[in-house]
Amino acid sequence: MEADSSNLSREVTPEQDPVTERDEHQTRKRIRGSDSMVTEGASSGGLHQLLDQLQVITSPVLQFTDKWREIHEEYATLQSSLKKQAVRLDLKEKSLMERVVELEKKEEMLKDVEEREMKIGLLEKSLEEKAKDNDVKQYLVSSVLKRLDCETASEAANVLEEKGKKVDEDKSRELEKAVKEIEAREKKLRLLDEAMKEKVIELEKKQKAFEGEQLVKAEEMELKRREMLAELEKKEKSFEVELKAKAEEMELKCKEKTAALEKKEKSFEMELKAKAEDMKVKEKQLEEKEKELELKQRELEDKLKEREKETNSACLASASASSPQQRDKACEEEEPERIKIVDSEFHDFKNTMSSFSVDKIWALYDPQDEMPRLYAKIKRINKSRLSLDVTWLDPKDDESVPIACGRFTHGRRETVSYLTFSHELKPIIHGRNISVNPKKGETWALFKNLGQQHKPPYRYDLVEVVVGFKDRQGVGVAYLGKVEGFVSVFKHSAKDRVVKRVIAPDEMQRFSHRVPSVRLSGDEKEGVPAGSFELDPAAVPSYILLGGEGA
């Protein structure tokens, strides 16, 4: 019975039906395929139309899933009812087992009765043997009496007969009682056997009826399942046909849209090519303009060399060219553009218009000796005129000498050429107050003989900042010397047997300007020391580059 009920439950459960699982897996694959087709079409354009079509396609799928859920719920209810019936069968089986146990107990009682009957038979046999012994004794007594007198013999015989009768009567009474008890027990056992047979017959009838009902229900469930599967297959086939038709429509639309997109891409590529050609033409024009500017720079260089004495005398009239008054008095003409005579070997320090951005602070070349010790903040970039609108940063402290370190504030606004810019600064800004001080790893130029008639032409020592500025200690620097065989490569070198020294806070005016530099690894070229610096030639005096004093 347990095996039959488990087989029935296994046949009915929808979760274990391989056909339904395969159908559901196929429908999911088709839905995913339609989704992928929709996404491909959406990527090429017409996203809203494709979404509407997807909604139309998926609506029957959603209805199908709802029906499938209803079928699944019906299967679940049927399964629960079958489980309840199986529980009932288990209870009935338990009651049958209890009755079988009772029958087994009764059989044991019957065995006990049979054993007692066997004992009674043995007693009867023993009584028969005793009777035979009595017969032998009587024969012996009779033979003895013959020898005795007739009177005494008759009396003895009478006595013996009376005793024998009494013994026989007692034994016969005991046997009759035992037989009656055995017959009564046999009757009870017969009645019990008949009752058990009737009950077993009734249970077999009920079991057969229950099995018949279960078979009928199982057949009905199979019929329902087959009907539902047939309906599902029909719906699936119709759904496949609809999907194929809609997929063909989607493919046609996608092809049309891809063709339109290809046309648009071709036209866009043509436009891009035309724009690229225009950009190339403009770039060529800019290159030509740059070449013209270089030619003008060279002409200005020649003119400036001729008028160097006049400009130096005019610039010496003031105490410092870093102040606003000195910038105005340095030269009555327009500020001359920076001329770079020597190019670096390993790194390009030149700036272009793309190097600048608004609100950044840069260092500009001082017209006194063309060193980058003036500071300005970019306010506007004029790419067409290759110029920038800037706000000058004026020093707050002593202006008797050119000042490159300390505190600065905003000054007047002016338009300058992009060629006058050297490098970008990373100062400390507190509102309108700006602080510039040497930082570790930077390279700077120090004034020589600051207190002895400080005026152009200036002399410099080049140093590396090894300890950044501190209010009480000052700045730690190491002297740099030029490496022979290279344009602007410098390494640590001793000056008057001193390699490193400390610039006290009250000597910060010795810092003339920062020199842009790049630390070299030694792999750039044979002979380049590892850890040396390539300095920007535009920020190094020409006499040092040519190997003169200070090199």
Mind listing the pLDDT tens digit of every residue in the chain (551 residues)?
444 444 434 444 444 454 455 655 665 665 555 555 544 544 455 677 777 777 777 777 777 777 788 887 887 888 888 888 888 888 888 888 888 888 888 888 888 878 887 888 888 788 778 777 777 777 776 676 666 655 555 665 676 677 667 767 777 787 788 778 878 887 888 888 788 888 889 888 888 888 888 889 889 989 988 998 998 889 888 888 988 898 888 888 888 888 888 888 888 889 888 888 888 888 888 788 777 777 766 666 666 555 544 444 343 333 333 444 445 444 333 343 444 457 788 888 888 888 898 989 999 998 888 899 999 999 998 887 888 999 999 888 655 667 888 889 888 999 999 989 999 998 988 877 888 999 999 999 999 877 655 777 888 999 999 998 888 888 999 999 998 888 889 999 888 888 889 999 888 888 999 999 999 988 888 889 999 999 999 999 988 888 755 55
Structure tokens at 38: 């929709």
What's the confidence (pLDDT) of residue 364?
Answer: 93
Domain ranges of the chain: 2-260, 307-545
Convert the pLDDT of each residue in 408-418 to its tens digit: 988 899 999 99
- Contacts of residue 221, Cβ cutoff 8 Å, sequence gap at least 6: 11, 12, 78
Give the three-class secondary structure for 481: strand
Distance CA 436, CA 372 (A): 13
The secondary structure of 361-416 as a DSSP string is EEEE--TTTS-S-EEEEEEEEETTTTEEEEEEEEESS--SS---SEEEEEEEEEEE
Cα–Cα separations (whole angstroms), residue 383 to 278, 287, 331, 352, 549: 18, 14, 26, 10, 40
The secondary structure of 313-334 as a DSSP string is HHHTTSS-TTSHHHHHHS-SSP
Distance CA 372, CA 445 (A): 10
- Contacts of residue 399, Cβ cutoff 8 Å, sequence gap at least 6: 319, 320, 322, 323
In terms of C-beta density within 10 A (0-12 exposed, 13-18 middle, 19 or more buried), how is residue 301 classed? middle
From the list 445, 419, 405, the residue with the least C-alpha distance to 322 is 405
Q: Which residue is it, tokens 């009826």?
A: 209
